[in-house]
């Protein structure tokens, strides 16, 4: 029993010592491969046996490709700027037309407001002229008020009836659905 305990203790010690150690350094072959890749990348992908003029041509062609790419990007950005300028112009023109429409509507509304004000003034003058008939006006207003109150009470009753009818209608729909389900189950 004690030998088993001693072995398990040694095993845990070994595991701890392995996990505490720093990671292993890469193998020498991995280092040489990495070095070769880096040297190829630095030399621009050319073979070490090629001449310097071939490397110069690669650099010149790379520079030409880079300049062509930059020119393409510049033309694309100028096109994008032109498109945005066109879009802004379209937006400006649409805003102008919309502003003109709104101005005409505003003028029409102002004319209508002036017309309504003049009508109100005329009605106010007519009311002032009829101050002698004030008592008859008060009676008419009272009658109108009573009539409106009656209409309101009738409408409230109709609303109550309508809500009752809606609830009855919903209840009947539910019952109808239940009956249809029962009939369909019976017919199966």
| Tens-digit pLDDT profile for residues 77-129 | 777 677 666 778 888 889 999 999 999 999 999 999 999 999 999 988 887 77
Average pLDDT over residues 32-48: 59
Domain assignment present for residue 181? The answer is: no
* Whether the Cβ atoms of residue 44 and residue 59 lie closer than 8 Å to each other: yes
What distance in Å separates the CA atoms of residue 102 and residue 96, rounded to the nearest whole number? 10
User: Is 92 part of any domain?
Assistant: yes
d(CA 112, CA 125): 20
Residues 6+ apart with CB under 8 A from 62: 44
Name the domain count of the chain: 1
Q: Would you say 44 and 55 are in contact if contact means Cβ atoms under 8 Å apart? A: yes
Rounded to 5°, the CA angle 29-32-34 comes to 110
Residue 35 falls inside a structural domain: no
Domain hosting residue 65, numbered range: 61-153
> What phi and psi values does residue 43 have, to the nearest 5 degrees?
-85, 0
Q: Is residue 30 part of a domain?
A: no
């Amino acid at each position: 029993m004690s030998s088993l305990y001693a072995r398990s203790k040694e095993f845990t010690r070994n595991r701890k010592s392995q996990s505490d150690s720093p990671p292993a350094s890469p193998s020498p072959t991995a280092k040489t491969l990495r070095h070769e890749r880096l040297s190829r990348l630095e030399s621009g992908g050319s073979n070490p046996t090629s001449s310097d003029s071939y490397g110069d041509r690669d650099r010149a062609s790379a520079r030409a490709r880079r300049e062509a790419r930059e020119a393409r990007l510049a033309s694309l950005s100028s096109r994008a700027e032109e498109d945005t300028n066109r879009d802004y112009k379209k937006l400006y023109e649409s805003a102008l037309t919309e502003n003109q429409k709104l101005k005409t509507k505003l003028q029409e509304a102002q004319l209508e407001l002036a017309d309504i004000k003049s009508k109100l003034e005329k009605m106010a003058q007519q009311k002032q002229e009829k101050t002698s008939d004030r008592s008859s006006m008060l009676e008419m207003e009272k009658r109108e008020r009573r009539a409106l109150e009656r209409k309101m009470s009738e409408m409230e009753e109709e609303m109550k009836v309508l809500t009752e009818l809606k609830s009855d209608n919903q209840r009947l729909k539910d019952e109808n659905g239940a009956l249809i389900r029962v009939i369909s189950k019976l017919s199966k």
